Structure formats: C-alpha cells, structure tokens
Structure 1
Amino acid sequence: MPSPLRSDAPVIKYKRDWRVWWRLLRPHTLTAAFVPVSIGTALAVYETTINFSLFITMLVASLFIQSATNMFNEYYDYKRGLDTPESIGIGGAIVRDGISPKTVLLLAWSFFAAAVLLGVYICMNSSWWLALVGTICMAAGYFYTGGPIPIAYTPFGELAAGFFMGLTIILISFFIQTGTITWTPVLVSVPISILVGAILLANNIRDLDGDRANGRKTLAILIGRKNAIRLLGAMFIVSFGWMIALVLFHIVSPWTLLVFFSIPKAFVATKGFVGKTKPIEMMPAMKATAQTNTQFGLLLVIGLLISYWL
C-alpha cells in the first residue's frame, strides 16, 4: 500500500523556454500587424518626409495589440473549454505548456497598456482623435474572443479582422505621417484587408469541426467546408485582380504588380485545404495563407518604394 505522503500519480513537467512564450504570441498572425503599417507608411512617402520614430512607434504598438489579442484568444478559448491538450495549432500555452491562465491574462492587459503609452506618443505628434480610434481597435481585439458574444463566435470575424487590421491600420499609418487621408490608401487597403480576413478564414476552416461542436457560428461553419475553401480561393483572386485594376486606373505604379510573385504561395494555401478534414493536415495550408499575406504585403511595399525612387 503506497504511503499517504507519496503520490503515485504521474507528474507533468512543463518545459518553459523562450519558445513557449514565442508561441504564446502566435507569430504567424503578427504579419497582420506589420504589413499594414509598412504599406501605410510606404504610401505616405509620396506625400511627405517620413518620421521614422512615428513609424517604429506605430509598428510596435500594432504588434502589441495583435499579440494581446492573441493572448485574450488563448485565455478565453481555455476558459470556454475550446483548448485541450489534444488541440491542434500554435495555441495551447495554457493547456500544453502549463502557463497560468492568470499570467496569460495579465500579459495581455500589460501589452494593451504598453500600446496605450505608445499611442499617447503618436497622438502627441499627430492628432488626439487617434486616441478614440485606437481605443476602438483595442476594444475589437478584446471582444474578438472576450465578452458575452465574442466576434470570433459569429460569421463576422473575417470582416472585423480585415477592417481593423487592414483598412484601419493602413489609414492610421498614413495619417500620422501626412496629417490627412486620401483615396489612395483606402483603395490600396482593400486587398490587404481581404488577405488579413483570409488568415482568419483559414484558421476557421481548420477548426471547423471543433468550433461547431462548441457552438460557434463562424462563416466557415455556416457555408460549409467546401464553400469556405472556394471562398478562400476567391479572396486570393480578388486581391490580385484588385491590384491589376489599381494599375489600370493609374492609382499605383505597375511596379506594385510585384505582388504576383506571391501567387504560388496562395495556390499552395488553397490547394492545401482541398480534401483535408483533420486539423493537423491543414496546418501547412493555414501557414501558407499567412505567408501569402506577408509576401503580398512586402512585395507591395517594395513596388511602391521602387516606383517612388524611380
């Protein structure tokens, strides 16, 4: 008979190295933060001399907000029972790595606080109206998975992500440099907003079965897996087609068609979901979707800068 002072139950040992904390940030999603900031700033080059301190501050603040949003996602998915040790994905710092839920929540609020401090600096050097816009953006980040009716549980997750992490960030990044808003950043933001939304759609395609079992009503669930994959492909097509239209109407330079070098990655992303039903099988496709956004965005920035210098 075992001693009452000794437990024969297995002891789970968690390995806490830098990779655990890095995964908590969900780095593959951070492209949705730095790409729009870079594009908005590249467009501002045509209007004014770039204030690099504002650019860096905006970039870091956006990364803080995106990271905090990911941590709120981690915390609330755990609290609602969506995350288990068997869950597939880059999340799971709580259930697999043993990080305390309170620690994750504290880090999320700390990142929000850091973003606020950086936002004060941005407002001091541009407009205090941005305080209101920034507050709305952070609220959207929190309510994506927090609150009584999380945005992530509705069909509007892709729309919200595209609007705030695409259009809004591009316009803010442009405005803090130029002090104004023109139609060019609005129109250029459309394909980026679509591709940011595509990252969320890819995530929801992968998690479709688990989300349905937990009562979510995501767009992928409502239209079905096959239609969701078709929609993902259509989003890529519209994004590239939109760039052609911008060039034909002389809104941007033909150099921006460098974005077409990201088509192979978009093809890999779409094809990678076809015929797959297990989350682990769809991880490469989800990764390729985020990489498409990164490649498209950076190639767009390069094209904008080349056309300016030439």
Structure 2
Amino acid sequence: MQPQLQPSSSPAVNGADWRVWWQLTRPHTLTAAFAPVLLGTALAIEYSGGIHWGIFLAMLIASLLIQAATNMFNEYYDFKRGLDNENSVGIGGAIVRHGIKPKTVLNLAFGLYGISVLLGIYICMSTSWWVAAVGVVSLAAGYLYTGGPLPIAYTPFGELVAGFFMGVLIILISFYIQTGTVTPTSVLVSIPSFLLVGAILLANNIRDLDGDKEFGRKTLAILLGRNGAIRLLAGMFIVSYAWVIGLIIAGVVSPWLAIVALSIPKAVKATKGFIGKSNPLQMMPAMAATAKTNTIFGLLLSVGIFISLI
C-alpha cells in the first residue's frame, strides 16, 4: 500500500488566480476533444450540406468538459495513490503545488460532468435518445480511466480506450447528431484520429515510464520497453498518413485531404524527441509535438474536406 500523501504545505492558491484552475484542465490535452468534433462535423457538412449550429456547439463544449473532467479525475486519483508530488512532470499541480483540497478537484470534475450531461440532454432532445446511452458509457470510461479499483490508465489498454472514445466515437457522434446516420466513410476517416489520440497517451506513458514502473503500473510503454514504445509511436504516425493516402487512392475521400502531409514535420519532431532520452523534462517537447500532431492533422483533414466542397 502506498503511503497517503498530503497536499503541498504551501499556502492555498487564491481563488481568483484563474491560471491554476486553467492549468488543472491540462489545456494541452483539450485539442484531443476539439479536433474530432470539428472533423465529424465537417464530414456531416460534406454528407448533408449543412449543420445545426446549436447541436455542434453543445457537442463541442460537452466534449471539452468531459476531457477536462477526466484530467481532474486523473489529478485526484494519482494524488490519492501517491503517484504525484511537487516535482511530478506533466500534471496540473493544483493539489501538490498549490494546496487546493483534493475533494475540491474531485467535486469540480463531477460538476463538469453535470454540465456535460445537461448539454447531452439538449442534444438528445434535438436528435435521438440513443445518444444518451453512448454518452453514459463515455462518461464511465472517462471516470474509470484513473478511477475505480483497476484504472484503465494503469493497464496496457489506455491507448486503445482513449483512441476509441476520444477519437472514433467523438467523430461518429458528431456526425450522427447532424445526419441521423453513420456511414462507412465516416468510420474510415475516424481511424487516424483513433491512432493519434492513442499516440498522445503513448507519448505520455513513454515520458512517465520509469515512474510508472516504480509504482507498479503495467502500461503499454512498460511492456514494450522504451525503444519498442518509440517504434510503436512512429508506426502509429506512419499508418495514420498512409491510411489517408489509401482512402484517396481508393476514391473514398477527396485528394484535398492529402493536405494532412503538412503536419508530418510535427510527427517527425515528436518521434525524434523521444529517442535517446529518459529524463521526463527532456521529453516534454516531444510529448507536446505529439499532441500538436493530432490537432494539426485533424484540423487539416477538416480543411481538406471544406476545400473539396468549394
């Protein structure tokens, strides 16, 4: 059993210091929610010729809130299990650095979930109540990622779960609530997002490999080893770009979607940034480049779709 840590003894942060609360959301991860919503909506516009803006905004905000809440659950449970301290890299640090009570972080996460549920009700009233069932499963996955008796993040399945829920599912829900259906094209176009969202988690686990191993985690990066995980990361990037090229050659999508090639330098920077490094601080730029690759890739796919409609 890990010793129960206490929050930092430094004075609690002033409630007016919005920067601490903003950092608690881990804003660099929020693009993992934004880009798939935009891509699913772009596909919907291509399919039906228009969208319902109210539903789009509700879906976008709900996705961002769920992602932020998931990050807060991560902050809370990693602290409770003794994984986080004042020197931990890549965390919001509200509890261990700024003296915010753990219960406050947990309650805030549930509060964001509550708002997302209200937005989900609006979406369901405007579309289908089947969306509610998918939403409940998504909320459960977000909580169980670091909560519950066996957190998903501590297993080799974190990348798979994150890629499915934050990549494929968000795109398909965003498409469905605008069109009332799911098409083979929307599924096929979602695959790179599945890989790149998973890549963000893999990059995080490569950075935290030594610390996670010390605390008994069994992440994919630990099972593969650092070099193996880096090779897998490179492979996920390669398959993402090759997948789009394959869809273009097969005539499934417009050649304009080849514009995603503009994001390749970021993917290369992310991969090279991990090679030969073991210090978490040294790997932060590579992790940031991985998240940016996902964002830029998704935005460029959307831009390619919009250009093809002109």
Q: In structure 1, what is the Cα distance between the partners aligned to 2:118 and 2:11?
A: 37
TM-score calculated relative to the size of structure 1: 0.95
Q: Report the CA distance between 1:15 and its aligned residue.
A: 4.4
- SS of equivalent to 2:274: coil
Q: Report the CA distance between 1:93 and its aligned residue.
A: 1.4
Structure-2 residue corresponding to 1:44: 44
Q: In structure 1, what is the Cα distance between the partners aligned to 2:233 and 2:250?
A: 26
- SS of equivalent to 2:287: helix
- SS of equivalent to 1:271: helix
Q: In structure 2, what is the Cα distance between the partners aligned to 1:34 and 1:89?
A: 20
Give CA-to-partner distance per residue, 1:203-245, whole Å, 9 cap, x none: 0000000000111000000010000001000000000000000
Give CA-to-partner distance per residue, 1:149-204, whole Å, 9 cap, x none: 00000000000000001110100000000001100110000001100000000000
Q: Which amino acid aligns with 1:131?
A: A
Structure-2 residue corresponding to 1:68: 69
Q: In structure 2, what is the Cα distance between the partners aligned to 1:117 and 1:109?
A: 13
- SS of equivalent to 2:46: coil
Q: In structure 1, what is the Cα distance between the partners aligned to 2:134 and 2:308?
A: 31
Structure 1 position 296 matched with structure 2 position 275: no
Q: Report the CA distance between 1:308 and its aligned residue.
A: 1.1
Unaligned 5+ residue runs, structure 2? 1-8
Q: In structure 2, what is the Cα distance between the partners aligned to 1:23 and 1:38?
A: 23
Structure-1 residue corresponding to 2:11: 13
Q: Which amino acid aligns with 1:233?
A: A
Q: In structure 1, what is the Cα distance between the partners aligned to 2:292 and 2:253?
A: 23
**1:125-144 alignment to 2 at 5 Å?**
125-144=126-145
Give CA-to-partner distance per residue, 1:247-301, whole Å, 9 cap, x none: 0011111111111000000010000000100101100000000000011010110
Q: In structure 1, what is the Cα distance between the partners aligned to 2:256 and 2:281?
A: 38
Q: In structure 1, what is the Cα distance between the partners aligned to 2:47 and 2:238?
A: 30
**1:44-123 alignment to 2 at 5 Å?**
44-48=44-48, 49-123=50-124
Q: In structure 2, what is the Cα distance between the partners aligned to 1:91 and 1:218?
A: 21
Q: Report the CA distance between 1:99 and its aligned residue.
A: 1.2
- SS of equivalent to 1:305: helix
Q: Is the 8 A contact 2:28 2:291 kept in 1?
A: yes
Structure-2 residue corresponding to 1:24: 24
Once the two structures are aligned, what percentage of the paired residues are identical?
A: 67
Q: Which deviates the most, 167-176 or 12-21?
A: 12-21
**1:280-295 alignment to 2 at 5 Å?**
280-295=281-296
Runs of 4+ off more than 4 Å: none
Q: Which deviates the most, 131-140 or 18-27?
A: 18-27
Unaligned 5+ residue runs, structure 1? 1-10
Q: In structure 2, what is the Cα distance between the partners aligned to 1:205 and 1:259?
A: 25
Q: In structure 2, what is the Cα distance between the partners aligned to 1:81 and 1:12?
A: 18
- SS of equivalent to 2:47: coil
Structure 1 position 227 matched with structure 2 position 228: yes
Q: In structure 1, what is the Cα distance between the partners aligned to 2:64 and 2:149?
A: 26
Q: Which deviates the most, 87-96 or 137-146?
A: 87-96
- SS of equivalent to 1:155: coil
Q: Is the 8 A contact 2:10 2:97 kept in 1?
A: no
Structure-1 residue corresponding to 2:245: 244
Larger radius of gyration: 1
Q: In structure 2, what is the Cα distance between the partners aligned to 1:285 and 1:90?
A: 16
Q: In structure 2, what is the Cα distance between the partners aligned to 1:91 and 1:283?
A: 14
Q: Which deviates the most, 137-146 or 11-20?
A: 11-20
Q: In structure 1, what is the Cα distance between the partners aligned to 2:65 and 2:124?
A: 17
Q: Report the CA distance between 1:12 and its aligned residue.
A: 2.6
- SS of equivalent to 1:47: helix
Provide the alpha-carbon RMSD of the alignment. 1.1
Q: Is the 8 A contact 2:75 2:91 kept in 1?
A: no
Q: In structure 1, what is the Cα distance between the partners aligned to 2:308 and 2:46?
A: 10
Q: In structure 2, what is the Cα distance between the partners aligned to 1:93 and 1:216?
A: 23
**1:199-214 alignment to 2 at 5 Å?**
199-214=200-215
